């Protein structure tokens, strides 16, 4: 029986830049158009967390030339865009495991996992006409700024299983394989949003959305792992792992919605053959053990949809030292990893949206102490 901390979501990120082509308001208009249009009375029912907020704060107006469509007070871009995002929470997993062996040659194990998720995200997105360049078709409207705040809380639980086997053909070789079943999550989202606008004549508007909630299911991809290890007597060991994952197999589902379009996009953009590699070594000297390792996790996205700066592969290096006595032991480990991420604040169906590239570097220190009785 055990409990593992499997993810840490605590972070803060920000970006800022001038967008001379479009605005987040264009993404609201784009969504309404792709849905076939909406009357002003329909906006609250279908777009209460985005387009209706913009409409009620005078950032969107009905299009006089196109029924049930809308125009923006930022028609051709030109605003400085910024966003600050803070996330909190993590993932953990309770495990129940069983293992055994046959004739000290074949070792097997089964683990049931019960993961839990807690994710909280707060973001503030802004657009400002710092250079006083934005010109609206209606010259009486002088846009100055908009602020769009969003909040999301996701929580839930899941279940999975792992099966593994290790074969020892000779004393100094270990060959292993394992299967990780998909994790089946039941998740619940709670969310809200607000919009504030400011204009050159001194008028300001603000509106809060209702409180939203939605429950759904997430099925993660399965994993298959192959491993081999070579032992050097009682002094050391070298091991290698290869992991295969089909990211395109992830699925969303709900009792009142089948997520058909979203699942098609997952299948389109995510890799169906993703390979991860890990290697490590340990060397013992008297009561001390010295360890080092490296890992490469390939991008989850298909190559035609990424670039060298945005493919989100992860490279990780680890090192550690341990001390052993008959009644106690102590280990100290350090991990370093790098990852390129790409973030666009919104998407448009007919034109690209400028985004930001983030190089994320993580440093982790882990200490373990144990006592034997």
- Residues contacting 361, CB < 8 A, separation 6+: 336, 337, 338
Mean model confidence pLDDT for the chain: 93
pLDDT given for residue 139 in this prediction? 58
pLDDT tens-place string over residues 112-137: 999 999 999 999 999 999 998 887 65
In this prediction, residue 320 carries a pLDDT of: 97
Q: What is the pLDDT of residue 214?
A: 97
State the pLDDT at residue 233.
86
Are 60 and 23 contacting, i.e. CB atoms less than 8 angstroms apart? no
pLDDT at 140: 64
How far is the C-alpha of 335 from the C-alpha of 320, rounded, in Å?
Answer: 9
> Rounded to 5 degrees, what are φ and ψ at 30?
-60, -40
Q: Please state the φ and ψ torsions of residue 44, each to the nearest 5 degrees.
A: -65, -35
The pLDDT score that the predictor gives to residue 137 is 59
**Cα separation, 100 vs 109, whole angstroms:** 6
Give the residues of the chain that fall short of pLDDT 50: none
pLDDT score at 342: 84
Give the whole-angstrom CA distance, residue 197 versus residue 195. Answer: 7
Which residue ranges make up each domain of the chain? 2-371
What's residue 121's pLDDT? 98
How many angstroms separate the CA atoms of 183 and 128, rounded?
Answer: 43
Q: What is the pLDDT of residue 360?
A: 85
CB 136, CB 185: distance < 8 Å: no
C-alpha triplet 342, 157, 362: angle, nearest 5°? 35
Q: Are 301 and 311 in contact (CB under 8 A)?
A: yes
7-57 tens-digit pLDDT = 889 999 899 999 999 999 999 999 999 999 999 999 999 999 999 999 999
Predicted local confidence at residue 352, as pLDDT = 87
Q: List the beta strands (DSSP E) in the chain.
A: 2-8, 11-19, 60-62, 70-72, 79-102, 106-128, 143-167, 173-180, 184-199, 204-208, 212-219, 223-232, 236-245, 251-253, 274-285, 288-297, 314-324, 328-343, 356-371
């Amino acid at each position: 029986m055990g409990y593992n901390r499997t993810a840490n979501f605590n972070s803060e990120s920000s970006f800022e830049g001038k967008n001379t082509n479009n605005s987040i308001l264009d993404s609201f208009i784009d969504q309404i158009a792709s849905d076939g249009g909406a009357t002003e009375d329909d906006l609250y029912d279908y777009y209460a967390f985005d387009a209706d907020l913009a409409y009620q704060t005078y950032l969107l107006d009905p299009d006089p030339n196109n029924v049930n469509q809308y125009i923006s007070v930022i028609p051709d871009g030109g605003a400085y865009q910024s966003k600050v995002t803070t996330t909190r929470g993590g993932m953990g997993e309770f495990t129940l495991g069983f293992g055994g062996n046959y004739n000290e040659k074949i070792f097997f194990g089964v683990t049931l996992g019960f993961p839990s998720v807690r994710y909280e995200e707060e973001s503030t997105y802004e657009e400002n006409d710092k250079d006083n360049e934005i010109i609206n078709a209606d010259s009486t409207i002088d846009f100055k700024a908009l602020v769009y705040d969003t909040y999301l809380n996701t929580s839930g639980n899941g279940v999975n299983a792992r099966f593994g086997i290790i074969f020892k053909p000779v004393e100094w070789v270990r060959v292993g394989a394992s299967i990780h079943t998909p994790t089946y999550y039941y998740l619940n989202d709670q969310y809200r949003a607000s919009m504030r606008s400011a204009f050159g004549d001194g008028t300001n508007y603000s509106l809060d959305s209702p409180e939203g909630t939605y429950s759904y299911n997430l099925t993660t991809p399965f994993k298959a792992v192959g491993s081999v290890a070579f032992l050097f007597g009682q002094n050391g060991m070298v091991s290698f792992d290869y992991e295969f994952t089909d990211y395109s197999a992830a699925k969303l589902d709900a009792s009142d919605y089948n997520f058909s379009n979203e699942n098609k996009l997952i299948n389109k953009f995510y890799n169906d053959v993703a390979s991860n590699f890990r290697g490590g070594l340990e060397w013992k000297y008297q009561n001390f053990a010295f360890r080092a390792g490296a890992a490469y996790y390939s991008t989850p996205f298909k190559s035609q949809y990424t670039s060298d700066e945005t493919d989100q592969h992860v490279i990780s290096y680890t090192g550690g030292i341990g001390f052993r006595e008959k009644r106690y032991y102590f280990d100290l480990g350090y991990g370093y990893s790098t990852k390129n991420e790409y973030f666009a604040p919104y998407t448009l169906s007919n034109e690209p949206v400028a985004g930001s590239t983030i190089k994320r570097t993580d440093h982790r220190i882990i200490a373990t102490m144990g006592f034997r009785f």
